[in-house]
Chains A and B, each alone.
Chain A
């Protein structure tokens, strides 16, 4: 049991440690030492992921784990570590660093339970645990009104979506008489008589998922929340939170609803086209970098849906692979935005003009991140996107991937706008040269290396492929 629940136990231990450290009186104002140890602990937590995971079931199917789930958890751990490193500059001056980590780790724990769930109850509990503390985190900057607004918007939307989700789950339970994915798969056989009920309950469940992955038309909360929240939380929401729900969405579709594919495939097709197109169109007009990245991440979610539509081992592995790359590229972009925001407080696209003159390394990293998000070689994003589209092509959805490919052109336009701003535009007052802390630099270098190298080391993808499954 200890072995199978390893990831979760470590996180609980971390929570206990943070809680105790939080309670110790007489803390100095200087946070750097404790932040150092926190990051070391998170790093150790990440390293534990390299120990192979066995397949196993605990608590009567409430908890399931196998190699693929281990990899997914490890990816989330990794992303959290990077975000923690990037948050150093910001947390150093914040009194509530311990609380930040406590909440962060709780959400991570929730995601782990959620990913491991093969049962609707654990799925729901995990999902709640993964989102509720995030609202507190989004409102973490207690003296900023925007941050408070972001927290309120996040919690209202997540509660609303949870309610819809829960209603859907309850109906599903009513129809199938079971909470377990595998039993449900047996009952949900796509029998046309039962379609009417199932359609409604699945629509509600998908709405719940849709809110969390922020796919159109359930995306309305995203931009405001992302803009108001502290940058680290924004990146956490857009990368870790989203990826974890994507993982569990895949298991839910591929296991519980494997016989219902004719029902959910059209749904995913329509939403993915909407998500890509609207995300891109809105991203075109943004001036604030965080808002811009918010919309770009909505569009990325659309591509992820296409990968899921592949419904094969290729589809699942390409999505996991894309998430890895997405962690590198989006966290690279957010990392740059985050250090600039922490150093200068500037968050607008216009502020980035002429940045290559003053901060060449940051500009280059942002350039690579943008290319990777746009899916342009030699960056890893090219491989990630192409494999997802390939998965969909395997099912013959050529028109869909044509739409996706044309959307990539639109997205390229706005990614190039950022590059133009940094490399081609002149500015009276470019962002002055600065050196960020060693922590953020480590994080940025990791992202940099990841963006360049991930695509070329085919072993990573091959490994993901070997642990993936389809319908």
Chain B
């Protein structure tokens, strides 16, 4: 399948070429358009991948991964460049493409070191693409770490507030996660072959090996927590509010929208799939933590007044729901978790882009100092309300589909412990509704707070491009969720099978 395989490699080469082109130009407009063109192409490529994937599946191709491509890399220690996608990866790739594309337009007004800004941003997204299509744990880890570093520069250079502190905290915590992860992955490598000769990083091969339970007990927490940190696992989520509030708009979008999904994806496809016995044994610990995260995130959001903090804490809550879905260890809940990853990705990216746009106009992110914005900037205001409705899980938007699937799946575990955890987590829906409505009520509705707000201009064209892209993704998934949920559901076969072995 040469043509389709090239399609996967293109996910790395298109951003790479864009980066090289960026190096060559100096002119501000060219920088913007080259970035936009590159990421536009990437978005088309992602949609193409989605379509091809659906075509292959409907034609009865039931391989666990499609469009596989494998090249030897480090032959001596059997590291290969092994790429391929299943339904979950496709969904994540599409998410990344959408968010990055929107991010390029949302940061159209960046004027300080624009080239470096776009360079870091595209590098970040390239790393995420690479992560989602990797089937080799080495390249997966390579891309994971690659994704963390541009974030440091993005926050530290273009951020606001306590940016240097936030950047350092975020980087060190995430790299701390990757340190745990590294030990875990090396462990997987050396347990990948019971005969002790042909060790491999190949996820597909490791999935078929039953690693001794003692080793699993040691490595599972390392890997799960390692990925969990970037997925805002309570109580290691503290980098998230600081980081997101200090980051520039596009960086927050990509980070909350895509990077935090690296965590969920890794927890699901590496930790749970490759170490299923330990997952069965230990999931209760993470259920407790995830439930705590859901509740903690939701309740903390209520008292925030900074728009970015509001979104950052609600992200903690939503991402904890992802981990909760994974830890429930059944197919429905996991499907919900992946859907939630997608839904939260586009939704939070939309939030952050809107917050950036509003901040640019009002020069404050404090909701108590704003008011009546819906009257002066109706377009942005309306989109914010729609995003909010999605966030609180209104039917018709992606958020509803995702959350309801997680909860239905969670309820399938009929013992006391899971029931209690699920019920506690469900209360977050109510809390979410409370804080979303409160926020909307305070700063969008009501009388216009300042005279000069009347002179504010509504969204410019590039802002519309960014928001419309994200909004349409939310609506499409909200209305036709089965495209995605079917894809995800069948791709979870491997995980579920391993869990039951």
Instruction: Verify that A and B bind, or say they do not.
Output: yes
Q: Across the interface, name the chain B residue whose C-beta is closest to A412.
A: B175
Chain B, 177-199, contact with A by CB distance < 8 Å: what is the 0/1 string? 00110110011011000000000
Binds A, one of B142-150, B299-307, B409-417, B476-484: B142-150
CB atoms of A461 and B179 under 8 A apart: no
* Any A CB within 8 A of the CB of B75: yes
Expressed in whole angstroms, the minimum distance between the Cβ of B261 and any Cβ of chain A is 19
CB atoms of A402 and B179 under 8 A apart: yes
Expressed in whole angstroms, the minimum distance between the Cβ of A42 and any Cβ of chain B is 31
CB atoms of B183 and A398 under 8 A apart: yes
CB atoms of A412 and B172 under 8 A apart: yes
Task: From known contacts A420-B164, A461-B74, infer whether A401 and B183 are also in contact, taking CB-CB under 8 Å.
Answer: yes
Chain B, 122-154, contact with A by CB distance < 8 Å: what is the 0/1 string? 000000000000000000001101100100110
Chain B, 103-114, contact with A by CB distance < 8 Å: what is the 0/1 string? 000000000000
* Any B CB within 8 A of the CB of A218: no
* Any B CB within 8 A of the CB of A317: yes
* Any A CB within 8 A of the CB of B3: no
Expressed in whole angstroms, the minimum distance between the Cβ of B368 and any Cβ of chain A is 31
Q: When chains A and B are docked, how far (Å) is the Cα of A423 from the Cα of B204? A: 42
CB atoms of A398 and B218 under 8 A apart: yes
* Any B CB within 8 A of the CB of A465: yes
Chain A, 432-471, contact with B by CB distance < 8 Å: what is the 0/1 string? 0000000000000000000000000010011001100000
Q: Across the interface, name the chain A residue whose C-beta is closest to B156.
A: A424
* A317 contact from B73, B76, B152, B168, Cβ within 8 A: B76
* Any B CB within 8 A of the CB of A371: yes
Chain A, 119-130, contact with B by CB distance < 8 Å: what is the 0/1 string? 000000000000
Binds B, one of A143-151, A269-277, A382-390: A382-390
CB atoms of A424 and B164 under 8 A apart: yes
Residues of B within 8 A of A419 (CB): 152-153
* Binding site secondary structure of chain A: helix
Interface size class of B (residues with CB under 8 A): 20 to 34
Q: When chains A and B are docked, how far (Å) is the Cα of A412 from the Cα of B169? A: 11
* Any B CB within 8 A of the CB of A261: no
Residues of B within 8 A of A376 (CB): 145-146, 149, 175
* B180 contact from A387, A396, A402, Cβ within 8 A: A402
Residues of A within 8 A of B164 (CB): 420, 424
CB atoms of B186 and A390 under 8 A apart: yes
Expressed in whole angstroms, the minimum distance between the Cβ of B42 and any Cβ of chain A is 19
Residues of B within 8 A of A393 (CB): 183, 186-187, 189-190
Residues of B within 8 A of A466 (CB): 76
* Any A CB within 8 A of the CB of B171: yes
* Any B CB within 8 A of the CB of A409: yes
Interfacial residues of chain A within 401-424, with CB under 8 A of chain B in the complex: 401-402, 405-406, 408-409, 412-413, 416, 419-420, 423-424
CB atoms of A382 and B145 under 8 A apart: yes
Expressed in whole angstroms, the minimum distance between the Cβ of B269 and any Cβ of chain A is 20
Q: When chains A and B are docked, how far (Å) is the Cα of A382 from the Cα of B180? A: 15
Q: Across the interface, name the chain B residue whose C-beta is closest to A465.
A: B76
CB atoms of A409 and B189 under 8 A apart: no
* Any B CB within 8 A of the CB of A177: no
* Any B CB within 8 A of the CB of A333: no
CB atoms of B176 and A409 under 8 A apart: yes
CB atoms of A458 and B75 under 8 A apart: yes
CB atoms of A462 and B74 under 8 A apart: yes
Interfacial residues of chain A within 331-377, with CB under 8 A of chain B in the complex: 371, 376-377
Task: From known contacts A386-B182, A394-B190, A401-B183, infer whether A416 and B176 are also in contact, taking CB-CB under 8 Å.
Answer: no
* B77 contact from A314, A378, A402, A424, Cβ within 8 A: A314
Q: When chains A and B are docked, how far (Å) is the Cα of A393 from the Cα of B149? A: 25
CB atoms of B146 and A377 under 8 A apart: yes
Residues of B within 8 A of A465 (CB): 76-77
Residue contacts A-B, CB under 8 angstroms, 17 given: A376-B149, A390-B186, A390-B189, A393-B190, A396-B190, A402-B222, A405-B182, A405-B183, A406-B179, A408-B175, A412-B175, A413-B168, A416-B171, A419-B153, A423-B156, A462-B76, A466-B76
Apart from the given pairs A390-B186, A396-B190, A419-B153, 6 other A-B contacts in the complex at a CB distance below 8 Å: A393-B186, A398-B183, A416-B171, A419-B152, A424-B164, A458-B73
